[in-house]
C-alpha cells in the first residue's frame, strides 16, 4: 500500500520552477473559486436539510465551514492571484495540499455525523453530496494533482468504511462504485495534468525561443544600425534616418539640413599616436556631436567622415553658426594617455529638397569639397551656383557615359625639345573631348568623369592607338608620350593590352613613353611598382610627371623603374628668380644623371627659363615657349623653329 501511495505521489507530483509555479497558480485561480462555491452550496444544502433534525451545534458547523469556503474562494480570485509574488504563490501551493486534505476530512466527518439523524432520503442526499464534492474536488484540482489525491482519499476512504460498518444494505456496491469512480477521476486528472505540463513546457520553450529571437533581432538591429566603434548610427542607419526626414516633411514645409563632416588631421593622429588614439578621437567626437543642440541625428559614414542632420527650423545663417560651433567642439583637445589630440573639421551643408538621399549626399559632398579647399575648419553651404555647376557636371557625365568615345575624341600634341640639338625628340599627346561636337574640354575637366564612369581604360587605349596612327613614330623618328590614368597604374593586365596595341600599330614600345603621376603611385605603391616594372619589361619608357609638386620623394627616383622625370611647372616658373628653386632643380638633375634618368622641364614659357635650365644642364624642355598643343602636323612643323 505504501509503495502504491509513493508511486501515486510521484505520478501526481507538480513540476518546480517559477514559471510552473505561476502557471499552476493562474490555472487554479480560474477553478478554485468555483470549487469552493460548490462546497459552500453543499454545506448549505446539508445544513438546511438537517437543521430541524440534528442538534443545532452540529448543523451550525455547516454555515461556519461555508464562511471559510467563501473566504478561500475570494482569496483565489484571479485578480488577486495575479498580483502576488512568486514566493507568495509558492507558499500558497505548498499549503494547498494540507488545507485540501483537512477540509475534506472535516466535510466528510460532518456529513457522516449527520447520517444517524436522517431518514433514507436525507441519507441519500449525504451520499449524493459526498459524491458531488469528491468529483468537483478531483476535477477542479486537476492542476494540483496531489491535493486532488488527498481530497479523494480524505472523502472516499472514511465514507466507504462508514457505509460498510453502518450496515447499509447496498454498502458494498456503493463503496465499490465510489472507489471505481474516484480512481477513474484520478486517472483523468492525471491525464489532464500531464497534458497541462506538456503544454506549459511547450509554452515555456516557445517563450525562450521568442526571447532568443528577440535578443538576436535586437543584436541584429544593433549591428545593422549602430557603429560599433563610436556607438552612434552607422552609414546605413543615418541614411535611412535622412530618407525618413526627407519623406515625412509636408509640401511647402522646411526640410532638415544635411552636414557632411571630414576630420582634418586625423591621419596625423593615427600615424603619430597609433590607431587606439584615432579610435578614441572618433568616439569622443561622436559623443560631442550628439550633445550639441539642433541636431536630429548623427552617425559615422566611414573612416573619419560623419553625417549630421540639423533641425529644419534653422535658416542658412543659423545652421552655418551651428556648424561652426560643431567645428569648435571638434577642435577642443582630446586627452589620451597623457597626450592631447588636436583635430579640426571641414563641413559641407545642404538643405534637403526633392533630390532624395543620394542627391543630398552628392550636394553636401560638393560643399564639403569646397570647404576642404578653403582650409581646415571651413564651413560651406551648397548654393545656387553650386547647383548649376553640379547640373552641368551631371549632364557632362551623362553625355560622356553615353557617347562613342572614338567619335568625340581628338588629340593635340606638344613637342618635347632637345634644346642643344634644336630638335623634337617626342610629342606629348593631349586628349580633348567634346560633349556636343562643338566645344572641346581638356582632361582637367573630363578625366574625373572618365574615372566616375569607369571608362579610363577605354580612354587610354583610344588615345594610344590614335596617337600611334597619327604620329607614326617608326616613320618620323619622333617618340610619343601618353599619360596613364591612376587606374591604369594599378590595374592588372594593362601592360599586356598596351603592348598589343603598339605591336598592332607596327611601332616599337621603346618609342612610347608612359607618364604617371605621383598621386597615382602613392595610392598603392606596391602594386604601382609592380605595374611599372611590367611596362618596362615590355620595353616602354616610364616618366614620372609633375615631380616636385609637393608629393615628391627622392627615394622614388631610386626605387621606381623610371627613365625620366618631368619637373613640375612651379619649379619652372621659379627658376629665373629663385635661388632656392635653382638649388632644388640642380640637386634633382644631378641625382637623376647619376641614376641614369633624364630630366624634362615642362611648362617653359620664357627665354629666361630656358637659359636658367640650360645653366643647370637640362637638355629636354617642353612648354608654350616652344609650341602650344596643336595637331600633329603643326607640332612637327615646330622643328623648323630656331631654338636657343
If we measure between CA atoms, which residue out of 128, 138, 124 comes closest to residue 182?
A: 138
Contact present, 187 and 180 (Cβ < 8 Å): no
Could you tell me which residue, 251 or 530, shows the higher pLDDT? 530
Q: Residue 641's pLDDT is what?
A: 46
Measured between alpha carbons, how far is 392 from 95 in angstroms, rounded to an integer? 86
The domain segmentation of the chain, as residue ranges, is: 2-208, 235-382, 403-640
Q: Residue 279's pLDDT is what?
A: 92
Could you tell me which residue, 261 or 523, shows the higher pLDDT? 261
Measured between alpha carbons, how far is 113 from 125 in angstroms, rounded to an integer? 13
Measured between alpha carbons, how far is 614 from 620 in angstroms, rounded to an integer? 9
Q: Residue 642's pLDDT is what?
A: 43
Measured between alpha carbons, how far is 236 from 539 in angstroms, rounded to an integer? 48
Measured between alpha carbons, how far is 323 from 369 in angstroms, rounded to an integer? 16
Q: In which band, very low, low, confident or very high, does the pLDDT at 7 lie, cut at 50, 70 and 90?
A: low
Could you tell me which residue, 51 or 165, shows the higher pLDDT? 51
Question: Residue 634: which residues within 8 A CB-CB, separation 6 or more?
Answer: 627
- CATH for 403-640 is 3.20.20.450
- What is the torsional sign of CA 511, 512, 517, 518? negative
Q: At residue 596, what are phi and psi to the nearest 5 degrees?
A: 75, 30
pTM: 0.58
Contact present, 478 and 424 (Cβ < 8 Å): yes
Fold for the domain defined by 235-382:
Alpha-Beta Plaits (3.30.70)
Residue pLDDT, tens place only, 415-424: 999 999 988 9
Contact present, 108 and 155 (Cβ < 8 Å): yes
DSSP states of 127-181: HHHHHHHHHHHHHHTTTSHHHHHHHHHHHHHHHHHHHHHHT-TTHHHHHHHHHHH
Amino acid at each position: 500500500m505504501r509503495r502504491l501511495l509513493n508511486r501515486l505521489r510521484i505520478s501526481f507530483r507538480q513540476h518546480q520552477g517559477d514559471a510552473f509555479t505561476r502557471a499552476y497558480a493562474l490555472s487554479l485561480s480560474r477553478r478554485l473559486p468555483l470549487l469552493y462555491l460548490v462546497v459552500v452550496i453543499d454545506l448549505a444544502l446539508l445544513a438546511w436539510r438537517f437543521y430541524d433534525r440534528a442538534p443545532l451545534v452540529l448543523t451550525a458547523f455547516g454555515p461556519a465551514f461555508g464562511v471559510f469556503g467563501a473566504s478561500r474562494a475570494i482569496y483565489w480570485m484571479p485578480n488577486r492571484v495575479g498580483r502576488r509574488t512568486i514566493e507568495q504563490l509558492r507558499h500558497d501551493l505548498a499549503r494547498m495540499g494540507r488545507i485540501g486534505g483537512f477540509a475534506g476530512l472535516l466535510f466528510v466527518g460532518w456529513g457522516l455525523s449527520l447520517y444517524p439523524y436522517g431518514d433514507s432520503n436525507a441519507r441519500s442526499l449525504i451520499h449524493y453530496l459526498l459524491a458531488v464534492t469528491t468529483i468537483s474536488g478531483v476535477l477542479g484540482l486537476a492542476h494540483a494533482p496531489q491535493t486532488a489525491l488527498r481530497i479523494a482519499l480524505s472523502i472516499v476512504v472514511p465514507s466507504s468504511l462508514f457505509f460498510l460498518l453502518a450496515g447499509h444494505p447496498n454498502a458494498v456496491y456503493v463503496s465499490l462504485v465510489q472507489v471505481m469512480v474516484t480512481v477513474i477521476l484520478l486517472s483523468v486528472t492525471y491525464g489532464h495534468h500531464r497534458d497541462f505540463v506538456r503544454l506549459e513546457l511547450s509554452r515555456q520553450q516557445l517563450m525562450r525561443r521568442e526571447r532568443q529571437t528577440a535578443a538576436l533581432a535586437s543584436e541584429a538591429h544593433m549591428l545593422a544600425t549602430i557603429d560599433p566603434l563610436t556607438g552612434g548610427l552607422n552609414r546605413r542607419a543615418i541614411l535611412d534616418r535622412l530618407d525618413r526626414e526627407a519623406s515625412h516633411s509636408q509640401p511647402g514645409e522646411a526640410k532638415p539640413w544635411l552636414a557632411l563632416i571630414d576630420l582634418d588631421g586625423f591621419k596625423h593622429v593615427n600615424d603619430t599616436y597609433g590607431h587606439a588614439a584615432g579610435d578614441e578621437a572618433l568616439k569622443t567626437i561622436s559623443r560631442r556631436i550628439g550633445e550639441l543642440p539642433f541636431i536630429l541625428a548623427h552617425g559615422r559614414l566611414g573612416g573619419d567622415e560623419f553625417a549630421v542632420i540639423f533641425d529644419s527650423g534653422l535658416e542658412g545663417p543659423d545652421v552655418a553658426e551651428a556648424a561652426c560651433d560643431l567645428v569648435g567642439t571638434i577642435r577642443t583637445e582630446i586627452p589620451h594617455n597623457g597626450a592631447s589630440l588636436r583635430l579640426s573639421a571641414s563641413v559641407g551643408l545642404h538643405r534637403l529638397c526633392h533630390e532624395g538621399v543620394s542627391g543630398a549626399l552628392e550636394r553636401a559632398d560638393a560643399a564639403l569639397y569646397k570647404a576642404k579647399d578653403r582650409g581646415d575648419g571651413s564651413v560651406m553651404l551648397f548654393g545656387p551656383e553650386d547647383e548649376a555647376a553640379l547640373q552641368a557636371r551631371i549632364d557632362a557625365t551623362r553625355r560622356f557615359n553615353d557617347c562613342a568615345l572614338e567619335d568625340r575624341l581628338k588629340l593635340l600634341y606638344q613637342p618635347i625639345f632637345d634644346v642643344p640639338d634644336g630638335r623634337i625628340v617626342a610629342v606629348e599627346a593631349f586628349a580633348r573631348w567634346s560633349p556636343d561636337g562643338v566645344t572641346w574640354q581638356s582632361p582637367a575637366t573630363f578625366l574625373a568623369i572618365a574615372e566616375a564612369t569607369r571608362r579610363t581604360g577605354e580612354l587610354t587605349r583610344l588615345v594610344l592607338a590614335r596617337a600611334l596612327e597619327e604620329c607614326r613614330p617608326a616613320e618620323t623618328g619622333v617618340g610619343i608620350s601618353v599619360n596613364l590614368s591612376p587606374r591604369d597604374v594599378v590595374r592588372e593586365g594593362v601592360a599586356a593590352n598596351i603592348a598589343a596595341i603598339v605591336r598592332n600599330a607596327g611601332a616599337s614600345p621603346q618609342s612610347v613613353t608612359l607618364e604617371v603621376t605621383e598621386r597615382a603611385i602613392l595610392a598603392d605603391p606596391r602594386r604601382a611598382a609592380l605595374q611599372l616594372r611590367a611596362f618596362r619589361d615590355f620595353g616602354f619608357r616610364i616618366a614620372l610627371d609633375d615631380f616636385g609638386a609637393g608629393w615628391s620623394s627622392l627615394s622614388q627616383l631610386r626605387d621606381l623603374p623610371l627613365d625620366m622625370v618631368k619637373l613640375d611647372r612651379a619649379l619652372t616658373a621659379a627658376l629665373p628668380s629663385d635661388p632656392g628653386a635653382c638649388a632644388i632643380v640642380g640637386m634633382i638633375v644631378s641625382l637623376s644623371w647619376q641614376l641614369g634618368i633624364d630630366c624634362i622641364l615642362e611648362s617653359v614659357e620664357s627665354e629666361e627659363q630656358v637659359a636658367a635650365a640650360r645653366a643647370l644642364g637640362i637638355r629636354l624642355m617642353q612648354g608654350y615657349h616652344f609650341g602650344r598643343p596643336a595637331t600633329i602636323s603643326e607640332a612637327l612643323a615646330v622643328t623648323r623653329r630656331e631654338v636657343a
